[in-house]
Homo-oligomer: A and B are copies of this chain.
Amino acid sequence: MEKPAKIRDVAKAAGVSTATVSRALSNPELLTERTRNAVFEAVRKTGYRVNQAARNLRKQQSGAVLVLVPDLSNPFFSTILSGINSKMTASEYSVLVADSSVPDPDTPLSSYFLNARVDGMISLDGALTQEELNGFGTNSANRIVFACEWVHNAEFASVRSDNMHGARMAIQHLHALGHRNIGYVSGPSQNVLTQVRLRGVLEEMASLTMAFGLISGLREHGIRVPDDISVMGFDDIELAEHFIPALTTIKQDRHMLGKRAADHLLARLSQEKQPLAPLIELVEVELVNRASTRPI
């Protein structure tokens, strides 16, 4: 049950100063090979591990980023989180999560920044109020990136699916099958009310569930899919292919949404001197043809 070694223990063991130990770890090229090796040997012997809390305090950083997820239990969002995490794992940042659906009056979101717990944030939640956004302070545009959802305030970077292209592909697909009467069952548009509805839809497992629900509903009324009517969804959650009939969908690459958002945040955190231009990146979508659509 020994106390963990600190930098002073290593310095003593190597016969150098703590400054030299610190340099061996962070800027080894500054030292002679001889000194460097002596430090490494001492590190090995003492089992020294740097204390991140101390390093962070001294460097005035937190070494963590926050990912704000509207609902952690919803695979639609957690797949994006997964993409974010895969990029962050390879960086020096830890990933901290918060769930907008879990109210916490004691710790408003901004406290993560104000209390120096995170250096930046990726938000999958586009329903942040202007007041909340103001709470992040003046430099927030360099520290916050939106993924999938976004806020209308244009100063924040965001990564989104190419929804427009997806919609076009869907229509073209149905048109090519000979369909001329095409309905669109949806909620989202541009105003705030429907934004809230969009939110609800996503929380109910994205629009695919609407397709599932639609098919079930049609079925109960004796209308068969795809014999009597073709149905397709937007989003390709994992079970779309197991559904009967397997659902034709426009597939969003949610993992990629997360990865690209992480890339942007990392880039911004590493060069936060001059404000970066706002940015909207579109991620390609894809049509996956299955059994729920067929020629007329």
Residues of A within 8 A of B (CB): 1, 4, 49-54, 56-57, 62-64, 71-75, 78-79, 81-83, 85-86, 89-90, 94-99, 102, 104, 107, 111, 114-117, 138, 205, 209, 212-213, 215-216, 219, 238-239, 242-244, 255
Asked whether, in the complex, the Cβ of B52 is within 8 Å of the Cβ of A115, the reply is: yes
Shortest Cβ gap from A133 to chain B (Å): 17
Asked whether, in the complex, the Cβ of A209 is within 8 Å of the Cβ of B242, the reply is: yes
Measured CB to CB, the nearest residue on chain B to A219 is: B244
Task: Please tell me how many copies of the chain the complex holds.
Answer: 2
Contacts of A244 in B (CB 8 A): 215-216, 219, 243-244
Contacts of A243 in B (CB 8 A): 239, 242-244
Distance between Cα atoms of A75 and B99 in the complex (Å): 15
Distance between Cα atoms of A111 and B94 in the complex (Å): 12
Q: Please pick, from B49, B71, B85, B205, the residue contacting A102 in the complex, using a CB distance under 8 A.
A: B85
Distance between Cα atoms of A97 and B86 in the complex (Å): 11
Distance between Cα atoms of A99 and B89 in the complex (Å): 9
Q: Please pick, from B52, B90, B96, B239, the residue contacting A116 in the complex, using a CB distance under 8 A.
A: B52
Distance between Cα atoms of A100 and B269 in the complex (Å): 26
Asked whether, in the complex, the Cβ of A57 is within 8 Å of the Cβ of B53, the reply is: yes
Distance between Cα atoms of A243 and B238 in the complex (Å): 13
Asked whether, in the complex, the Cβ of B99 is within 8 Å of the Cβ of A97, the reply is: no
Distance between Cα atoms of A96 and B52 in the complex (Å): 14
